[in-house]
Amino acid sequence: MPSMNDVRSKIMEIAKRRGFYWRAYEIYGGLGGFYDYGPLGTALKDNIIQLWKEHFVIREGFLLLDSPNIGPELMYVASGHADKFTDYMVKCKKCGHAFRADELLKGYVENPEKLDDRGLWNAIVENKLRCPDCGGELSYPERFHLMFVTRVGLDKKAFLRPETAQGIFINFPIFYRLNREKLPLGVGQIGKGFRNEISPRQGLLRLREFNMAEIEFFIDPREEFPIPQELNGISLPLLTREGKEIKIEVEEAAKSGILHPAMAYFMARIVEFLSSLGIDLSRIRFRQHFKEELAHYSQDTWDCEINLSQGWVEVIGIAYRGDYDLRRHMEYSGKDLTALRRFKEPKKIRVKKLRAKMNVLGPLFKEKARKIAEILESIEFHEGEIEIEVDGEKIKVPQDAYEIVTEEESIGGERFVPHVVEPSFGIDRLLYAVLEHSYYEREESGYKVLRLSPRIAPIKAGIFPLVNKEELVEIAKKIETAVRNAGISCYYDDSGSIGRRYARADEIGVPFCITVDYDSMKDDTVTIRDRDSAQQKRVSISHLPEILEKLCREEISFGDLDAYEERS
RNA sequence: GCGGGUGUAGUCUAGUGGUAGGACGGGGGCUUCCCAAGCCUCUGGCCCGGGUUCGAACCCCGGCACCCGCACCA
């Protein structure tokens, strides 16, 4: 077994040499926190996303959204990011060093992080704070945004989204309608997020522009949420904020109240998903955030962490966001983002109500009559003269301007703000984790292999003539065309020896290699080699596209091939 | 952002002021009936900018990037 850090540098080396990913803008000296995905990386990323969609969108019947990267300032004021996503920095006027203002004030004032620029400045002046490095004078606190700021048109301030979630929240009413006004409702979004990290590091693990896949799962907090039967028995490795490590089955975790059932449900789905990606389930855990670690929107968060060569890395966050987001967007936009909780039986109630008599109100109040009528009909039952306020003016409405009626009303439900459970996937981190957990070196030879599942492998097949002879080459090239035409990514290779070609294929995780040999000319069969076992089986050339397709969808396994060949 | 380290071909790496070398890889050819065999041949490099020097991959300054630690990661 190579040491952990060994794995990491080997992955980085393969990634660049073979074209998974590399640092962006290298010819201009690079730019920290930005990476390019090459041919293999883009294919792998696409395949991971495709699998994600199958697990979390198609199987669940969730809805997809693709909303813009750039959003208006007010939305991010509402979401809390414009505020909470900001640090105040002060600079030393002499040596130019920058410091976080609240850090400097720790120990001088209580909760310095709660102060605004003015408050921080006052505290700095009162405590006569100077530059800790050179004793120089400090500047007025300035905001440092962890969001990228930009302009729309000439002067409209806007931000690049730090998460895709807000696009979903602000469209809740549309999705609610598209879901035929039913909860629970899941909306997924795959896209880029942007965070102007102070010091990005560790390759794909901390980017300034990154790929994410998020689901906002809207629920009625008063409804019970049953865990689907098919997930029963899935074991969740939990690390609670008290530091307790427990293995617990999903239904038990939900029943015992350790987890909100909807959180438990997503965790179980995540375990399934990671398993089909080829992540080693003995190296994952769900870690509960400490109270002070929680994001401004969250009541409870669990990170799905994967053990990599750099330790436990957060790859997926599952947050209970409550009604924070929808409520905030309602406040700031003034729009209704509620859902309707239907009663089993519509409630019938008899109410005494006022009904305005327009023929009296009209002549009496002229253009104000309509407004007065509206107000009258909305207020509680009253008798006698009524005083109401219209546009700040107090108006007395005489008794003969309305009548009292008794109505039977039928109320179908009540409006409420749904709660949200959000699983948020860092695709780049996931991709890196997949690479690390797939990597191994063959015992005898030390050759490098990526044990990528056929589902996500960027290239499904290599097609080789055993030796570089015209007759074999011709057949191999025909096979290549047929496989390509079936929509399966593959390549043809006749360079060097056959062993070298297998090794090259192993290193980028090609699951199957097709070799054309002399028997192929006699009976139209080829050998198909399984990457992980290095074993070969003979199959008919005519079956190849279909076989490869089934293998790559994991409908059949390599071991099934003999039976499959006999049957057909 | 701070402190420390590093930056030589696609990758890994040698080179302490005097013509930049190797290994692997990659291309072409030969050979080869199954796991990086061999032979021939080609390809390609000192992070960027300034300075010191007759002369800089090497010394100095600045920048950028990467790595380690701290801080940060809502």
Which pLDDT belongs to residue A280? Answer: 96
Q: Give the pLDDT confidence score for residue A130 in this predicted structure.
A: 76
A199 touches strand B (CB under 7 A): yes
Q: How far is the CA of A180 from the C1' of B71 (A)?
A: 49
Which pLDDT value is given to residue A562?
A: 92
The answer on pLDDT for A102 being more than 80 is: no
Mean per-residue pLDDT, A128-133: 72
Report whether the peptide linkage leading into residue A184 is cis, meaning its omega lies within 30 degrees of zero: yes
d(CA A1, CA A333): 57
Residue A2: what pLDDT?
35
The answer to whether strand B lies under 7 Å from the CB of residue A511 is: no
Q: Average of pLDDT values for A541-555?
A: 97
Q: Is the pLDDT of residue A201 over 70?
A: yes
Distance between CA atoms of A389 and A371, rounded to whole angstroms?
Answer: 10
**In this predicted model, what pLDDT tens digit does every residue of A46-95 receive, in sequence order?**
999 999 999 999 999 999 999 999 999 999 999 988 877 777 777 766 65
A397 sits in which H/E element: strand A393-397
Going by C-alpha positions, the residue among A438, A447, A439 that lies closest to residue A499 is A447
Q: Which helix (H) or strand (E) holds A90?
A: strand A86-91
Share of chain A above pLDDT 90, in %: 66
Residues 458-487 on chain A lying near strand B, CB distance under 7 A: 466-469
For residues A560 and A106, which has the higher predicted lDDT (pLDDT)? A560
Average pLDDT over residues A470-478: 95
Per-residue pLDDT tens digits for A301-356: 999 999 998 889 999 999 999 999 999 999 999 999 999 998 888 777 777 766 66
Which is more confident, A131 or A550? A550
Is the pLDDT assigned to residue A134 strictly greater than 80? no
pLDDT of residue A93: 65
Mean pLDDT of A412-423: 94
pLDDT at A1: 32
pLDDT at position A380, please?
Answer: 65
Q: Work out the pLDDT band at A357, boundaries 50, 70, 90.
A: low
User: Measuring from the CA of residue A534 to each C1', which nucleotide is nearest?
Assistant: B35
Average pLDDT over residues A242-271: 95
Distance A496 CA to B29 C1' (A): 12
**Which strand B bases fall within 7 angstroms of a protein CB?**
1-2, 7, 10-12, 25-28, 30-38, 47-48, 63-74
A201 beta carbon to strand B: under 7 Å: yes
Asked if A451 contacts A501 with a C-beta cutoff of 8 angstroms, the reply is no
A134 touches strand B (CB under 7 A): no
- Rounded Cα–Cα distance for residues A411 and A145 (Å): 47
Determine the pLDDT at residue A34: 94
Helix and strand numbers, DSSP H then E, in chain A:
19, 28
Q: What is the pLDDT of residue A394?
A: 72
What span, in angstroms and rounded, lies between the C-alpha atoms of A550 and A470? 30
Residue A472 has pLDDT above 90, yes or no: yes
Region A471-490: what's the mean pLDDT?
A: 96
CA of A2 to C1' of B45 (A): 29
Average predicted confidence (pLDDT) for chain A = 89
| Rounded average pLDDT over A499-525 | 97
Range with top average pLDDT, A173-182, A200-209, A370-379, A438-447: A173-182
The structure tokens 């039967």 sit at A229
- The pLDDT > 70 percentage for chain A reads 88
Question: Is A83 within 7 A of strand B by CB distance?
Answer: no
Distance CA A8 to C1' B45 in A: 25
**Side by side, which strands form the sheet with A70-72?**
A70-72, A156-160, A149-152
pLDDT at residue number A379: 67
| Confidence check: pLDDT of A123 > 60 | yes
The whole-number pLDDT of residue A112 equals: 67
In whole angstroms, B43 C1' to A58 CA is: 49
> What pLDDT shows up at residue A82?
85
The per-residue pLDDT for A478 is 96
Which residues in 223-262 of chain A line strand B, with CB less than 7 A from it? Answer: none
Indicate if CB(A84) is under 7 A from strand B.
yes
pTM for this model (two decimals): 0.87
